Amino acid sequence: MKKVSFLLVLLMSLMLLVVGCVSEGGDESGGETDSDSSSGEEEEEADVETEVEPTDVETPDEFTFGAATVGGFWYTLAGAMSDAMSDKFEGTSTTVVEGGSVSNLLGLGEGTFHIGFSNGQTVPEALNGEKAFDEPIENVSTLATLYPNVFHIAVREDSDIYSVEDLEGKTVSPGIKGYSGELAFQEILELNGMSYDSLDGIEYIGTADGADLLRDGHIDAIAGMLAAPVSTFQELDTTVGIRLIPLSEETVTSLNDANEGYLPFSIEEGTYPNTEEAVNTVAGYTVLLANDDMISEDVAYELTKMVVENQGAWANISNVMSEFNAEFSVENNVGNLHPGAEKYYKEVGALE
């Protein structure tokens, strides 16, 4: 039976990865992250000590957790949370499956996953049945909003690019094709009366490799949805120096009007060594979602409590989780809260 179970999980994982690639020409993979991790690099092992009290609420025998590829922050965080879930829900196990922002939502909607990560700007698309989603997904809600993936446009400090419009005729890396950063970049170009045809060239490449091209003068800019600060950009700023290109207020407002998952965000002074003033942009927040039909109110309450009250453990894995708490989660929520999560946030005073 164990061999059969393993083969089924492997097959399910492969099918979800195919779905993710087909859905929008690609999908967040967690190793991207360029959207899903703080630097796009493999996460180092960290001490993760959680404090959970076992509960006797009725739970599934096994949870399935939609994360992302091995090496990305989503996969690492899902592994740490699944360990805590084993302590919280004694006698259960959790299988972490590689996926991505779109494929995780599809899996949640279909009942393949009990819980999973996604990007905040993808949630309204799923709820409304837009873009990668042929029909609305109505049985998914939020447990917690965790951290922002911030839209960056970085150029060399000696560049003549100071606005989105100045990218005309330039060569840009928008990250990996089909990832959230590229999709956001395309929308931003369109809102500024531009398209890829306005540029001299596009380089589909990861953040670290893109930084090498920018350093050597082979491209003019890097764009992406990244958890700030990006260590690759910090290093680049201390060597050749970089500038971050702001988005206009009109662009930020238009993005939010079209998709509530794009929230206004300011990259603060000092985030990078040469950032001397705040940079106006948007962010899409990583969210932990649940299938409403598979996760009861009691289980959702206990899951939300576990995630919020072990913030310190998650922050030890990556400092992108340093600002996360109950109030942060509620303030940046997009879409519907699970009734169990809502109960917890009201109990701790984060929600009226």
For residue 255, the domain's CATH number is 3.40.190.10
Backbone angles phi, psi at 73, to 5 degrees: -65, -35
> Looking at the 3D structure of the chain, how many domains does it have?
2
Tell me if 102 is assigned to some domain.
yes
Tell me if 291 is assigned to some domain.
yes
Residue 70's pLDDT is 86
274 & 161 share domain: yes
Tell me if 164 is assigned to some domain.
yes
21 & 100 share domain: yes
Structural domain boundaries, residue 267: 149-283
Residue 114 contacts residue 292 (beta carbons within 8 Å): no
Residue 47's pLDDT is 62
Residue 123's pLDDT is 96
Residue 254's pLDDT is 98
18 & 136 share domain: yes
Helix (H, G, I), strand (E, B) or coil at 247: coil
183 & 82 share domain: no
10 & 142 share domain: yes
pTM, two decimals, is: 0.83
Query: End of a domain among 229, 263, 283?
Result: 283
Tell me if 242 is assigned to some domain.
yes
- For each of the chain's 352 residues, which pLDDT tens digit applies? 433 444 444 445 444 443 333 333 333 433 344 433 333 334 444 568 898 999 999 999 999 999 988 888 999 999 999 999 999 999 999 999 998 899 999 999 999 999 999 999 999 999 999 988 999 999 999 999 999 999 999 999 999 999 999 999 999 999 988 888 899 999 999 999 999 999 999 999 999 999 999 999 999 999 999 989 999 999 999 999 999 999 999 999 999 999 999 999 999 999 999 999 999 999 999 999 999 999 999 999 999 999 999 999 999 999 999 999 999 999 999 999 999 999 999 999 999 9
136 & 170 share domain: no
Q: Which of 188, 182, 136 is nearest to 165 (CA)?
A: 188
Q: Could you tell me the two tokens for 108?
A: 């949640």
Query: End of a domain among 283, 303, 320?
Result: 283
Q: What SS3 string covers 257-309? A: HHCCCCEEEEECCCCCCCCCCCEEEEEEEEEEEEECCCCCHHHHHHHHHHHHH
179 & 60 share domain: no
Q: Could you tell me the two tokens for 237?
A: 């700023």
139 & 155 share domain: no
- Show Cβ contacts of residue 252 under 8 Å, excluding neighbours closer than 6 positions: 262, 264, 280, 281, 282
289 & 141 share domain: yes
Residue 9's pLDDT is 45
21 & 141 share domain: yes
Tell me if 352 is assigned to some domain.
no
Residue 44's pLDDT is 46
Tell me if 32 is assigned to some domain.
yes
45 & 102 share domain: yes
Positive or negative: CA dihedral 153, 155, 157, 160: negative
Query: End of a domain among 227, 252, 283?
Result: 283
Residue 179's pLDDT is 83
